[in-house]
Every structure is written in structure tokens, then in C-alpha cells.
């Protein structure tokens, strides 16, 4: 019999990459979508998986919809990728961020506990939970959390609730503590995509500048297509656990900008970048870098795509998108 998976956040960045991986492994994939006045299936279409996903209606803020979905699908595996995932917006929408990212996870865990207790559960946790905790410059599974945004705080709640359902009810629940990962499907408001889209527009003569808040923050950036493999591997283990997923290398926003301009042959990037305080955050996370010994040893997982390859891939995809629009 086919294995089944329920993926929330199916229309975001990671959802379609994970769906592609699971479909290749012959899973039946249910994708949770919320009500839209204007639905867009652009991301699953981009990866060619839209027609193979069975969409089910539900919202993380509506517990009864989650109960209904879990009860009717009774999946082998649940991947909870849905979130208000934009750190910057989480100060303006702190309550909504908490309702979706924290209480929504509690509702989903409860729905599984009562109606499909053998489903394995993956929670999309994040390096933003570490925030300022970077004593030796690296973060791993033992590093204490010090989140710096309502987003990070909401994810810490979900992290511990995921651990607590494992310890209290013996459920198979895992946290993937993923460091930043990007792809051509990254939402346009995120700084990496803003840069690659901006560079593509400058290259094609459609814009002159990119406006950014801060060039100094350092992040450990990997490729989303690699990271979804780690999610899958966690749920295939005999025992549930929590894993840091990262590349172990760190780059500044400025490094990302330089790499993106280099990818299109523009060396004088400073001419095109304007610093704009409107895009600065009330509290920034200065430095993130993951130590991945546990996931490499226990999951056998390693990132494949390098930083330079990732930036090139994103710039190329944005140029192709814009050229398609122009014609």
C-alpha cells in the first residue's frame, strides 16, 4: 500500500520541494491549503507537482478544520510547514504569528493525538530560535534559545510542544531546526529573493537599485531542495528526535549581494544598492551558523548545493521569469 503524507504549507517554498521528493518515493501527498479569494498554485506548478497533489482545505488557526483533515486522511506522516514565516512581519502581526505558528501547532498535534496517533509528525523549527545564543559562533541541538522576534518566540513554543507530545504521549514527533534555506521559490519579500529579483531587473535594464535594510547580518544559507530530504529522513528513523540542519558555513547579506551581482557580470554592486532604514528590524540576529554533526552522523544527511551555486540558481530563475513576462 502507498504511504501517505499530509503536508501543510504546500503552496510555500518548502512544501512543493517536499511534495516532489515524496511523490518520487511513491507517496500519496495531501496538501493543506487555506481559503483564498485568489488561489495561486505557482510554486507546485513550477516544480511540476501540482496535478499530483490532493489538496485538502484547512487553516492552522481553525482547529476543527485540522481535526477534519487528520480524521479523513489519517496519514502515515504529517509535515507541518505552514507558518507566518516572515520574521520582519512578525513585529507588526505578533498575535497572528503566535496564533498560526504556536497555537496552530498545538491544534494540529491534538488532532493527531486524538484521531491518528500513529502518524509521525515533523515540525518546521528554525535557527531563529537561537537568536543571540551564539557563544562560540555555532549553534547545535544543545544551544540554548534566545529568540529575537515574535516569529522566533512563536517557534520556540511550537518546538517545546512538539517535544512535549513526544514525552507525554509517546508520539513520534520531530523538530527539524533548519537554518535559512532558499530557492527560486522563495517568497519575494525575503531578503535573498529580493536581492536576486532586484539583480535580475538591473541586469535586464528594468530597474536601477535595490533597497536593503542591513548588509551585516550573517546567515547559514542552504538550498531548500536539499533541506526537505532531511525532513523526510527524520521521519524514517526508528526513534524520533530533534536535528539541526545547516551547511556549517556563514555569509553576510553583503556576500549574498556580491555573489548575485557577480553571477550577472556586474562588479560595481555598490552603485546599485541603497540602504533604507525602513527595512531594518527592531532587533536583529547578528550571526547564525549551524553545527550539523548529529544530522550527518544519524541521518546521513549532507547539503549538496553550495552558496555560490544557490545564488546563481536563484538569479538565473529570476532572469528567466522576467524574460518570460516580457514576451
Residue placing its CB nearer to ligand NAP in the complex, 202 or 231: 231
Q: Can 192 be counted among the known catalytic residues?
A: no
Q: Which of 4, 8, 73, 126 is catalytic?
A: 126
Residue placing its CB nearer to ligand NAP in the complex, 117 or 187: 187
What residues line the site for ligand NAP (CB under 6 A)? Answer: 8-9, 11-15, 32, 34, 59-61, 81-85, 100, 124, 126, 178, 180-181, 187
Residue placing its CB nearer to ligand NAP in the complex, 227 or 269: 227
Q: Can 159 be counted among the known catalytic residues?
A: no
Shortest distance in whole angstroms from residue 34 CB to ligand NAP = 4
Q: Which of 128, 182, 229, 258 is catalytic?
A: 128
Shortest distance in whole angstroms from residue 123 CB to ligand NAP = 8
Q: Can 162 be counted among the known catalytic residues?
A: no
Shortest distance in whole angstroms from residue 82 CB to ligand NAP = 3
Contact 100, 26 (CB under 8 A): no
Shortest distance in whole angstroms from residue 1 CB to ligand NAP = 28
Using CB positions, name the residue nearest to ligand NAP: 12
Q: Which of 17, 79, 151, 232 is catalytic?
A: 151
Residue placing its CB nearer to ligand NAP in the complex, 116 or 149: 149
Residue placing its CB nearer to ligand NAP in the complex, 9 or 240: 9
Shortest distance in whole angstroms from residue 72 CB to ligand NAP = 17
* Residues noted as catalytic: 126, 128, 151
Amino acid at each position: 500500500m502507498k504511504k501517505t503524507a499530509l503536508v501543510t504549507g504546500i503552496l510555500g517554498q518548502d512544501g512543493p520541494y517536499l511534495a516532489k521528493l515524496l511523490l518520487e518515493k511513491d507517496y500519496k501527498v495531501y496538501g493543506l491549503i487555506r481559503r483564498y479569494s485568489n488561489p495561486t498554485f505557482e510554486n507546485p506548478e513550477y516544480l511540476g507537482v501540482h496535478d499530483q497533489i490532493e489538496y485538502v482545505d484547512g487553516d492552522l488557526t481553525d482547529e476543527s478544520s485540522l481535526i477534519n483533515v487528520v480524521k479523513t486522511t489519517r496519514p502515515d506522516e504529517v509535515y507541518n510547514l505552514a507558518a507566518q514565516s516572515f520574521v520582519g512581519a512578525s513585529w507588526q502581526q505578533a498575535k497572528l504569528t503566535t496564533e498560526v505558528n504556536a497555537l496552530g501547532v498545538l491544534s494540529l498535534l491534538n488532532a493527531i493525538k486524538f484521531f491518528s496517533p500513529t502518524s509521525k509528525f515533523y515540525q518546521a523549527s528554525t535557527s531563529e530560535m537561537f537568536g543571540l545564543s551564539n557563544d562560540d559562533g555555532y549553534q547545535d541541538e544543545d544551544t540554548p534559545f534566545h529568540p529575537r522576534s515574535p516569529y522566533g518566540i512563536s517557534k520556540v513554543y511550537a518546538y517545546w510542544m512538539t517535544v512535549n507530545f513526544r514525552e507525554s504521549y509517546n508520539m513520534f514527533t520531530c523538530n527539524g531546526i533548519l537554518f535559512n534555506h532558499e530557492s527560486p521559490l522563495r517568497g519575494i519579500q525575503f531578503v535573498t529573493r529580493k536581492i536576486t529579483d532586484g539583480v535580475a531587473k538591473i541586469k535586464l535594464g528594468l530597474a536601477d537599485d535595490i533597497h536593503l535594510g542591513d548588509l551585516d547580518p550573517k546567515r547559514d544559507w542552504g538550498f531548500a531542495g536539499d533541506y526537505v530530504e532531511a525532513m523526510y529522513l527524520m521521519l524514517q528513523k526508528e526513534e524520533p528526535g530533534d536535528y539541526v540542519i545547516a551547511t556549517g558555513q556563514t555569509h553576510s547579506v553583503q556576500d549574498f549581494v556580491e555573489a548575485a551581482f557577480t553571477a550577472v557580470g556586474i562588479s560595481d554592486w555598490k552603485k546599485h544598492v541603497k540602504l533604507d532604514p525602513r527595512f531594518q528590524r527592531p532587533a536583529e540576529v547578528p550571526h547564525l551558523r549551524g553545527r550539523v554533526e548529529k544530522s550527518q552522523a544519524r541521518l546521513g544527511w549532507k547539503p549538496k548545493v553550495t552558496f555560490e551555486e544557490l545564488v546563481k540558481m536563484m538569479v538565473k530563475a529570476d532572469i528567466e521569469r522576467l524574460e518570460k513576462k516580457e514576451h
